[in-house]
Structure 1
Amino acid sequence: MKDFPVHVLRGVAQVDFMPSALCGLLFTAALFSADWRFGVYGLLGTAVATAAARALGQRGEAVEAGLHGYNGCLVALGCAAFLDPDSPATAVVAALGAAVSVVLAAGLTALLDTWRLPVLTVPFCLTATAVTLAAPAFHRLAPAAAVAPAAAVPAAAVPGLSWDQLWHGFLANIGQAFLLPQWYAGLLFLAGLVAAGRLAALAACAGSAVCLLTAWALGAPGEAVGQGLYGYSGVLVALALGGGVFLARDRWSTGYALLGAAAATVLTPAFTALTAPAGGHALTWPFVVTTLVFLAAVPAIPRLRRL
């Protein structure tokens, strides 16, 4: 148990596939820089999920690497973003949802292992979608009072990108994986990636740039692009496919990852429309769908090699 805080920090870092406690520490600093409540909820969700995985007898190496904590982190952050973070009821739901995400991950792993596909953030997406759909039925689960812009693309905005929207969006694309649009939080997340591995940081930067280019080329609203609402899933795709996580690093996997990042950018507003009954929160569904499809295709593409 003395190493439990290290396992929790690794769980925070595993949102971006990094099994590094130093990276997790910088990621946690980024959460607190945006709002102290986000920092508390992120640590709460990761700690509960990590403890639940240990209590359920999950494989020790996976628990220690943080692989059972990252979905709990995101579930709790989703509660803080979409519900009132000051309500005790929200904290209870965040903790419960984090624990449930461990069970969902175990069940999904049993299903997806047949095709050698990872669970990714599917437990977070399922749990957060369920919570946002159920919240109106519980008067103690009030909607959030704009702690941070939710990951939902504005329906009406003027196309075109200003310089501020461009560089803010570049960093916000990295931060919105944690539901944070602040550029300085994105900068701290990028610093965490650099601390964990420079190649991963380069993959995230390349993915963010491709997402910006794709959004601009298609005429996406500048305000939404500047908040990272089009690019966060693409950054995660770039890390998964081009960061040495699931595919061997070479020029082919790099190009494949950037193609996936562009695809996820296009999918994001589609998922926003599909999730309109739950508040229009696309969450990381575009990342999940893109990555699973691209990984499923790898056996049929001779130039790519799974790790």
Structure 2
Amino acid sequence: MTIKPVQLINMILKGVSQVVLIENSITGIFIIAGLMATSLSLGVLAIVSSCIGTLIGIAGGDSESAQSGLFGFNSVLTGLALFIYLDGPYTWLFAIIGAAIAGLLNASVMHILGQFKMPAITFPFILVTWLFVIAAYQLHILDLSNGLAPESLASWTITPTGDLHWFEGMVRGVGQIFLQDFFWTGFIILAGIFWAGWTFGLYAVASTVLAFLTAYIMGADMESLNSGIYGYNAVLTIIAVAAVFDVKTDFAPVTGLIGVILSVPVTAAVHSLLLPYGLPVLTLPFVLTTWTLLAARQVLVKI
């Protein structure tokens, strides 16, 4: 199959937009612009990473999935994560290598989980990112950034009081999908989600509000609340469960909201589990919550 340059560009942009489970090239442009609001390098890396994942899909013979952007989004997230979490002169190189590995692993996970009628979503991104982070403790060529370090749960303190920046925290929750807590990055990405459809946008807003309130009521750490840590998994969960995967009943939005609430304690639990190992939470709460609800939906068909 011959791919024209315009078609390839469209695939690459969809690869970026599929991070938020949306197949829309304009949304991809919004996301890239939002990343560039934080750093020009992040926007360029998102484009390069999506291109790598997309070309792997095309070269491997799955042009249909590549056209929908399904080979780009895990590569995008992996490239960004490794660029952020690794340090040293080879950061760009490892980010690109990681994006390529994520593209290959994406195909493997799609095949395995497809037998159970379950989507791969962002699981390949999580595995590849953790692989590099863990390997950095044994391989001198990999340098971890100062933001990652094992911590004892006994020394971890929660500060549930302080200045609450609810609006900024909720908008930053959207940006945290791409590991960014810059307010304007979250705002621009949210605008891109609205561009794809008012339903997507309203789901994103509703999920950030509900997740923020749930985390606040449960006594979450104030710094985590204000930086949007409890919002991004909620946004992905409601879009996945209520608007994208196997949505057959009118009860699906309610199931999505249940997923949003569930994602909060799951996020807290995953963070506690990974803290002693110095591993980032990433989108694992979204993956676990979404898989749980989609698996339940195969039996409870009315949810």
Instruction: Calculate the TM-score normalised by the size of structure 1.
Output: 0.90
- Once the two structures are TM-superposed, the CA of residue 155 in structure 1 deviates from its matched residue by 3.6
1:37 touches 1:80 (CA, 8 Å); kept in 2? Answer: no
1:240-279 equivalences under 5 Å are 240-248=240-248, 250=250, 252-279=251-278
* Equivalences for residues 36-185 of structure 1 within 5 A: 36-58=40-62, 60-84=63-87, 87-144=88-145, 155-160=156-161, 162-164=163-165, 166-185=166-185
> Where does residue 231 of structure 1 map in the other structure?
231
Structure 1: stretches of 5+ with no match in the other structure: none
Q: CA deviation at 1:243?
A: 2.5
Relative to structure 1, the CA distance from residue 253 to residue 199 in structure 2 (aligned partners, 3 Å threshold; closer, same or farther) is same
Amino acid at match of 1:144: S
Once the two structures are TM-superposed, the CA of residue 26 in structure 1 deviates from its matched residue by: 0.3
User: Which digits, 9 at most, give the CA deviation of each residue in 1:170-210, with x for residues without a partner?
Assistant: 11111111101111111011100011111011111111111
Query: Does the CA-based 8 Å contact 1:10-1:19 persist in structure 2?
Result: yes
- 1:201-221 deviation line (CA, Å, top 9, x unaligned): 111111111110110010001
Q: Distance in 2 between matches of 1:26 and 1:261?
A: 24
Which 4+ runs in 1 deviate beyond 3 A? 152-155, 160-163
* CA spacing shift, 1:94–1:10, aligned 2, 3 Å: same
State which drifts further: 111-120 or 155-164: 155-164
Residues 210-245 of structure 1 show CA distances to partners (whole Å, capped at 9, x for unaligned) of 110110010001111111112211111011012244
Partner deviation per Cα, 1:30-88 (whole Å, 9 max, x = no partner): 11101222212222211111112212222x1210111100000000010122112xx44
Evaluate the alpha carbon distance shift between residue 7 and residue 259 of structure 1 in structure 2; reply closer, same or farther with a 3 A threshold.
Answer: same
Looking at structure 2, the residues matched to 168 and 49 of structure 1 have their Cα atoms a distance apart, in angstroms, of 33
Give the 3 Å change call, closer, same or farther, for CA 6–273 of structure 1 in structure 2: same
Aligned to 2:24: 20
Identity %: 29
| Equivalent residue letter for 1:22 | I
| AA in 2 matched with 1:303 | K
**Using the alignment, how far apart are the partners of 1:12 and 1:140 within structure 2?**
29
Code of the aligned partner of 2:282: L
Give the AA of the match of 1:71: N
| Paired amino acid for 1:290 | T
Match of 1:5 in 2: 9
Aligned mates of 2:59, 2:131 — CA distance in 1: 24
For residue 277 of structure 1, report the CA deviation from its aligned partner: 4.9
Residues 75, 97 of structure 1: 8 Å contact kept: yes
Instruction: Tell me how large the CA RMSD over aligned residues is.
Output: 2.2
Aligned in 2, Cα 1:100/1:66: closer, same or farther, shift over 3 Å?
same
Alpha-carbon distance in structure 2 between the residues aligned to 1:43 and 1:159: 38
Distance 1:248 1:170 in 2: 29
Partner of residue 217, structure 1: 217
- How far apart, in 2, do the equivalents of 1:78 and 1:277 lie? 19
TM-score, normalised relative to structure 2: 0.91
Distance 1:254 1:186 in 2: 23
Any idea what SS the aligned residue of 2:23 has? coil
